[in-house]
Structure 1
Amino acid sequence: ALSFKISSPLPHANHLLIWRPKTVAYPSALQARTRYLFELKEDDDACKKAQQTGAFYLFHSLAPLLQKSEHQYLAPKHSLLELERLLGKLGQDTQRIEDSVLIGCSEQQEAWFALDLGLNSSSSINASLQKSEMEKELKGSFIELRKALFQLNVKDASLLSTAQALLHWHGAHQFCSRSGQPTKKNMAGSKRMCPSNEIIYYPQMAPVVITLVSDGTRCLLARQSSFPKGMYSALAGFCDIDPGELERIRSSSLVQL
């Protein structure tokens, strides 16, 4: 990849711009992983093939499956074969796996997917699976991510946050806003398309402001009644369209008090 540096204009009338190519080196592993993920998002056949050797994180109504280990939570992964066996044991169609979404991959190009078995399937006639039945079978618990986030390692916390956001987006965008017809996701879950008019929808991020208010020696934190004991957070809220940076900070702080 090349980047260019522009020198300051010369002081005489005919200003000259000098472009100096500068080589930027990217770690080969990072570059390979990024290209691999892009390929899976653009090629349904490649993504389906990646599921054969990939790993799946399971959710139930947007709550991830976790297992308690001393003072932290672990996020177990399941192979495609294990997932197919689970669905078969619970009397479910393996076609439900098509509802999974791609959330990342390892340096060895093991693709990671997330699948919510607590939502009605868009690719299967089967409805939501019973939470208690699955927890017993999987030897874990489906726990609200917000409550468990700080007891997860950094990798799992990041992956599960990405997975939850993507699964939520797909659940909320089942229909085309123009035609009203059902939309269909690609294999990776990186987009949805309306078959009737070919409009493509991509996952969106909400404009959220997180603010740490400080007087120099202390900071303002808050907690909700649903928070676990000892948990506090900085103030956060949605921001309006371009009210100005300072106004965003004021609004997001005051509305939470």
Structure 2
Amino acid sequence: MSAWCGLQTHQPLHTLTHAYSTMSILPLLRRLAPPLRASWLRIQGRDISYVERVRFLQELKVHESLCSSFIPDGKFLVYHYGKPLLRVDKANTKDAIVWLTFTEVKNYYPELLSSYVLLDVSEEGKPRYSVQVGGIPSYTKEKLEDETGGIFTDLRLGMFMVSWQEAHTLSRANCVHMWNKNNAFCGKCGAPTKRNASGRWLL
């Protein structure tokens, strides 16, 4: 069950937003869970402790409306068939991973809300997500690479282009995407699994 502007609905978030443009989705998402959102907005824009990041991440996983409300403010790591978008010329620097905004990803991949996963919370208190865009046309893929200066790079090679912390992020994102791909149905009863706001499939 997802909250949508104060209303309860049994429709998943990505189906509810299908009829809306990117610009109309943003204010609607941000209106979700106002009390919880306000309490966590205070940590935005400053370095926060590891404990605060873990607490915030747990809140995002537990409260679907809170997680949904922060999607427009998050940063997105983009994957294309298991290959992360990286800047090869920025290897071994903090800019090696291409992090895009919600609006930027939405421009290339309108189905963003049906394939993102929540990864972690950055040191600045920003939720970070990953999205798999394997279904985009080849010309859109090329445009995405050209405009961001990145290249969809083999994950094994990419692990040597980033710090160990970022390598962990790349690996975790790939693992969650693979888990979602392989667990669309319950392994015991065969029933379809349900996607929650953090992008995980619930058995």
Q: Is TM > 0.5 for Structure 1 vs Structure 2? A: yes
Instruction: Name which of 62, 82, 98 aligns with 1:62.
Output: 82
Aligned to 1:234: none
Higher helix proportion: 2
Query: Which of the two has higher C-alpha Rg?
Result: 1
Instruction: Name which of 122, 130, 141 aligns with 1:134.
Output: 141
Cα deviation 1:72-127 (Å, max 9, x = unaligned): 4711101111112223xxxxxx3432321111111332000000111xxxxxxxxx
Q: Does 1:186 align with 2:196?
A: yes
> Shift in Å at residue 179 of structure 1?
2.7
Q: 1:154 to 1:135 in 2, by over 3 A?
A: farther
Contact persistence 1:60–1:131 (CA under 8 A): no
**One-letter amino acid of the structure 1 residue matched with residue 108 of structure 2:** L
Unaligned runs of 5+ in 2: 1-47
Aligned to 2:157: 147
Aligned to 1:34: 54
Aligned residue pair count: 151
Q: Does 1:102 align with 2:121?
A: no
Instruction: Name which of 80, 89, 112 aligns with 2:102.
Output: 80
Cα deviation 1:155-177 (Å, max 9, x = unaligned): 32111111001111111101112
Q: 1:71 to 1:59 in 2, by over 3 A?
A: closer
Aligned to 1:243: none
Q: 1:45 to 1:134 in 2, by over 3 A?
A: same
CA distance in 1: counterparts of 2:170 and 2:139, whole angstroms: 21
Contact persistence 1:135–1:142 (CA under 8 A): no
> Shift in Å at residue 142 of structure 1?
1.1
1:2-21 to structure 2, matched below 5 A, reads none
Contact persistence 1:176–1:182 (CA under 8 A): yes
> Shift in Å at residue 184 of structure 1?
1.4
> Shift in Å at residue 147 of structure 1?
1.8
Higher relative contact order (CA 8 A, sep 6+): 2
Unaligned runs of 5+ in 1: 1-27, 88-93, 119-127, 194-199, 201-257
CA distance in 2: counterparts of 1:99 and 1:71, whole angstroms: 27
Contact persistence 2:145–2:152 (CA under 8 A): no
TM-score (norm 1): 0.54
Contact persistence 1:57–1:114 (CA under 8 A): yes
Higher strand proportion: 1
Q: 1:143 to 1:131 in 2, by over 3 A?
A: farther
**One-letter amino acid of the structure 2 residue matched with residue 133 of structure 1:** T
Contact persistence 1:98–1:187 (CA under 8 A): no
**One-letter amino acid of the structure 2 residue matched with residue 69 of structure 1:** D
Q: Give the secondary-structure state (helix, strand or coil) at the position aligned to 2:88.
A: strand
CA distance in 1: counterparts of 2:153 and 2:139, whole angstroms: 12
Aligned to 2:129: 113
Q: Give the secondary-structure state (helix, strand or coil) at the position aligned to 2:84.
A: strand
> Shift in Å at residue 60 of structure 1?
0.6
CA distance in 2: counterparts of 1:66 and 1:173, whole angstroms: 27
4+ residue segments displaced more than 4 Å = 70-73
TM-score (norm 2): 0.68
1:207-226 to structure 2, matched below 5 A, reads none
